[in-house]
Amino acid sequence: MNVVLSVAEMKEIAAKLRRAGETVALVPTMGALHEGHLALVREAARTSSRVVVSVFVNPTQFGPAEDFARYPRDIEGDLRKLGALKVDHVFAPDAASMYPPGGSETRVDLTRLPGHLCGLSRPHHFPGVATVVLKLFNICRPDAAVFGLKDYQQVRVIERMVADLDVPVRIVRHPTVREPDGLAMSSRNRYLSAEDRAKAPVIFATLKHLADAIARGERDAARLIELARGRISDAGGSVEYLAVADPDTLDDVAVADRPVLIAAAVRFGGTRLIDNVVAGG
């Protein structure tokens, strides 16, 4: 497994892989890797002959009051975990390499998809995500890139960016990987106190409860949201948003008479967790 620190070296490696006729799958991460990330890496190895994993905590997707400075970083642990898998190159640049001094005048800013769900409270987030992912695509030149559906809105933003800008990368969706009690795996789970960790599985349990209610014939989105808010609040969570939305556009729906995305952002203590399920059909 080759660890690459510079943009120039990664570009050179990508060009050589292209010339050799290799297919390349990229797994973009911000490190602090857990089993959810490793599942994406295994999927990448199934899709392509070569696997590149990027490890980069991207500053441009964090707002001024967010957790960039304390976001968990463990590059040595990440490399140990990746070393046990089929990974050819780990691209681990620093911020100065990705965003040279003097700043950048260009960013990718979608007009509609970020105006929902997480984008309502995190206006800096999705322009930062789309910009860094496009940079990673241009540097690593993958044929495919694997993303987890725990970050469903992120996946839709990247899919739309790729379609709108004719980026020749196939986006591979991977199901959310969960702990045995249903909590979606996330690097931020390590922020949770023992007490809050015991409460946090209520998020997925509630989303499943709403999906079951839809399967039984409930169609009123407002009633579903009210039910979910009550269950999560009773368990000690602070709801940032709960939405019943179109899975493609992310627009809210009033009547769940077709497949819908049920998505939530909930805080336990100071930790913000997100999760979602697709229901109906």
Q: What is the pLDDT of residues 110-141, one digit of tens each?
A: 999 999 999 999 999 999 999 999 999 999 99
Please state the rounded mean pLDDT for residues 175-189. 97
Average pLDDT, the chain: 97
Q: Give the per-residue pLDDT at 259.
A: 97
Domain boundary pick from 152, 174, 196 = 174
Could you confirm whether 37 is annotated as catalytic? yes
Predicted confidence at residue 52, as pLDDT, reads 98
Which pLDDT value is given to residue 86? 97
Whether 233 contacts 144, CB under 8 Å = no
Flag whether 92 is in a domain. yes
For residue 68, name the pLDDT band (cuts at 50, 70, 90): very high
**Confidence at residue 101, expressed as pLDDT on a 0 to 100 scale:** 86
pLDDT at 204: 98
What is the average pLDDT across 23-43?
A: 98
Q: One of 34, 37, 89, 174 is an active-site residue; which one?
A: 37
What CATH number is given to the structural domain containing 30?
3.40.50.620
- Specify the pLDDT at position 172: 98
pLDDT (0 to 100) of residue 94: 95
Reported as half-sphere exposure (CB side, CA atoms, 13 A), residue 254 has a value of 0
* Percent share of the chain, pLDDT over 90: 95
Cα gap 148→155, rounded to integer Å: 8
Number of domains in the chain: 2
Query: Rounded to an integer, what distance in angstroms lies between the CA atom of residue 134 and that of residue 128?
Result: 10
Q: Do the Cβ atoms of 157 and 129 come closer than 8 Å?
A: yes
> Is residue 180 in a domain?
no
Domain-located, residue 15? yes
In this prediction, residue 65 has a pLDDT band, given cuts at 50, 70 and 90, of confident
In this structure, the answer to whether residues 198 and 170 fall within a common structural domain is no
Q: Indicate whether 179 belongs to any domain.
A: no
Give percent of the chain with pLDDT exceeding 70. 100
Q: Are residues 126 and 164 in the same domain?
A: yes
Q: Are residues 160 and 207 in the same domain?
A: no
Give 104's pLDDT tier (boundaries 50, 70, 90).
confident
At residue 238, the pLDDT reads: 97
**Tens digits of per-residue pLDDT, 212-244?**
999 999 999 999 999 999 999 999 999 999 999
Q: Could you count the other beta carbons within 10 Å of the beta carbon of residue 227?
A: 17
Nearest CA to 29 out of 197, 144, 192, 186 is that of: 186
Answer yes or no: do 21 and 143 share one domain: yes
Nearest Cα to Cα of residue 174 among 18, 3, 29, 22: 29
> In the predicted model, what is the mean pLDDT of residues 43-71?
95
Residue-range definition of the domain harbouring residue 259: 187-279
